[in-house]
Amino acid sequence: MSPPTKINASQPVNSFEEICEEIDTLLLSRYPPKTVDEDSSSISSLPSSPSSTPSDSTSSFRDYTSPITPMRVMKFYQEQHEKQTVSSVIEKRKQFSSLNCAKMSVWDALELLNTLVDNSDPDTELSQIEHCLQTSEALRKDGQPRWLILTGLIHDLGKLLYFYGAEGQWDVVGDTFPVGCAFSQSIIFPEFFKNNPDYSNPKYNTLYGIYEPNCGLDNVLMSYGHDEYMYQVVKDYLPVEACYIVRYHSFYAQHRENAYCHLMNDYDHEMMKWVKIFNPFDLYSKADQPPNIHELKSYYIELINEFFPEEICW
Ligand SMILES: [Fe+2]
Ligand SMILES: [Fe+2]
């Protein structure tokens, strides 16, 4: 493995891990697992419906329904909603799309993220690598295709961005949403957009803003984070469906709330079905048993080698 460059070791690791946990908890209280019956009606039109989603095992689930949102996560969303603007997104895309932060294998990236965001916080139930493996193992147990299992494994690796020069947490994690047009009320904490400079800019605050109706999400600037960064990392290696999942897996305002259909084209509607299939495996697989990394490593190294060269650019 080439030594990863540009790692900023002074980034506060514990608070990053904590905010990741708290965002997940908030998402789980906002989107609790559906019953099997509810699920079967909503996924019947999907290209390949999971036979059982991880939400089936709700009995072993911790209680995520607390109405109290920790102050830290409120502050996080406040900052994210204020700072994600057209100009900041363009700047971030320019900064990170050249992929000159590191050259390493996908497995090494998993281990690196795990080392950087370790289990030093006793309240953290799962490490990053465990979340990745739980997502991929849930997909594997469900009989999903190999490319989708691999997508589960790598979908959050863009969080390395936090150590590769991100300004804070607001440009790495959290739900994503389009900038350059009106912020939907379906986005979590919509009231926090009031202090975003784009909110009062007439160029950006109409339904379509700078976009044409049904222009396609590929032409839309999404708030910057680990989704867009990881999409840039994998787009030359994985099937288009996998790349689409990676790019939009945090776009809850669409894949859960359907708030941006007016910007989507036919291609997006087809592809978004895969994000909807993927999301329960990402969100609800935390209820499953912690994976045994050593036992699983050889299976995943083989799977990674099926799609990726030895080293890729980050
Ligand atoms: Fe994610
Ligand atoms: Fe995830």
81 is an annotated ligand-binding site residue: no
Please give the structure tokens belonging to residue 281.
């495996």
Distance CA 173, CA 153 (A): 17
Candidates 205, 240, 201, 246; CA nearest to 225 is 246
CA atoms within 13 A on the CB side of 304: 21
Helix or strand or coil: residue 178? strand
Closest CA to 155 of 225, 98, 102, 260: 225
The bridge status of strand 103-104 relative to strand 312-313 is: antiparallel
- The residue length of the chain stands at 314
CA pair distance 50, 139, nearest whole angstrom: 8
Whether 161 contacts 172, CB under 8 Å = yes
Give residue 241's region: left, alpha or beta (phi > 0; psi -120 to 50): alpha
pLDDT at 126: 67
Q: What pLDDT does 123 receive?
A: 45
Tell me, in angstroms, the distance from the centre of ligand 1 to residue 203's CA. Answer: 30
Distance 9 CA to ligand 2 centre (A): 23
What is the C-alpha R_g of the chain? 19
Exposure letters 1-34 (e unless 16+ CB within 10 A, then b): eeebeebeeebebeebbbbbbbbbbbbbeebebb
Distances (CA, A) of 200 to 45, 208, 222: 39, 14, 18
Tokens of 238: 């994985």
Q: Which ligand is nearest to the CA of 130?
A: 2
Query: Which residues crowd ion ligand 2, with CB under 5 Å?
Result: 156, 282
- C-alpha 105/C-alpha 210 separation (Å) is 38
Contact 225, 114 (CB under 8 A): no
DSSP annotation of 274 reads H
- Do 212 and 101 touch, CB atoms closer than 8 A? no
Q: Any known ligand binding at 226?
A: yes
Ordered per-residue pLDDT tens for the chain, 314 residues: 554 556 776 677 778 888 888 898 899 989 988 754 554 434 333 334 444 445 444 333 434 455 678 888 999 999 999 999 999 999 999 999 999 999 999 999 999 998 877 544 444 556 888 999 999 999 999 999 999 999 999 999 999 999 999 999 999 999 999 999 999 999 999 999 999 999 999 999 999 999 999 999 999 999 999 999 999 999 999 999 999 999 999 999 999 999 999 999 999 999 999 999 999 999 998 777 889 999 999 999 999 999 999 999 99
The reply, when asked if residue 155 is annotated as ligand binding, is: yes
Q: Indicate which ligand has the atom closest to the C-alpha of 246.
A: 1
Sorted by where each begins, the domain ranges of the chain are 13-313
Distance 106 CA to ligand 2 centre (A): 16
Is 238 exposed, middle or buried (CB count within 10 Å of its CB: 0-12, 13-18, 19+)?
A: buried
Give residue 157 CA to ligand 2 midpoint distance, Å: 9
Q: Which of 261, 252, 247 is nearest to 214 (CA)?
A: 261
For residue 31, report the distance from its CA to the centre of ligand 2, in Å. Answer: 14
Q: What CA–CA distances, in Å, run from 69 to 49, 72, 93, 307?
A: 33, 8, 31, 40
Ligand nearest to the CA of 282: 2
CA of 27 to the centre of ligand 2 (A): 11
pLDDT value of position 256: 96
Which ligand sits closest to the CA of 229? 1
Q: What are phi and psi of 156, to 5 degrees?
A: -105, 5
294 is in an annotated binding site: no
Residue found by looking up tokens 């919509």 in the block: 190
Residues less than 5 Å from ion ligand 1, measured at CB: 156
Q: Consult the annotation and say whether 119 binds a ligand.
A: yes
Query: Which of the ligands is closest to the CA of residue 281?
Result: 2
